[in-house]
Each structure stands twice: as structure tokens, then as C-alpha cells.
Amino acid sequence: MSVETLRMILFFYLLASFLLAIFYLRDRNLSFGEYSLWGLFALLLPVLGPFIVILLRPGKRIDKGKQASGHVR
């Protein structure tokens, strides 16, 4: 593998992990400022940031009505 190929793989990994964190944050009940700060945190710590954002679970999960019936399956 050439250096350019490795750089492209690293770039796509960083982009994919950042997008994973952003899509995770989308389902959380956060203000715009909190959303921006957590997104910036995930962007500034490119390798561990997205995983830390998901593990810390900021805000409360937005209930989409699926779990409103109280039944656990």
C-alpha cells in the first residue's frame, strides 16, 4: 500500500466515525449549543472522540413513541 492509500483510508475512517457520532447525537435531547460542543469534541479528538460521545450519552434520548406501550420484547 502506498502512503496516499493509507491517508485516504484514515480520512474515510475519521469521517465515518465523526458521522456516526453526529447521527447518534441527533437522537438525543440537546440544545443547539450542547449539540455543537459535543460535535466539536468528536471532531477535535478524531480517533476517540466519537466513541467517547457515544459512551457518555449526553442528554436524554428522544422517545419516538415505539416504547410508549410499556411492553418489552
Question: For each of the chain's 73 residues, which pLDDT tens digit applies?
Answer: 788 888 888 889 888 888 888 888 888 888 889 888 888 887 777 667 677 777 787 778 777 765 555 555 5
Which residue type is seen at 5?
Answer: T
Residue 58: exposure state from Cβ atoms within 10 A (0-12, 13-18, ≥19): middle
Q: Can you give the pLDDT at residue 14?
A: 82
Q: Can you give the pLDDT at residue 15?
A: 86
Q: Please tell me what DSSP assigns to residue 39.
A: H
Q: Give yes or no for a contact between 22 and 39, defined as CB atoms under 8 angstroms apart.
A: yes
Q: Can you give the pLDDT at residue 66?
A: 58
What CA–CA distance (Å, rounded) separates 61 from 45? Answer: 23
What CA–CA distance (Å, rounded) separates 68 from 73? Answer: 13
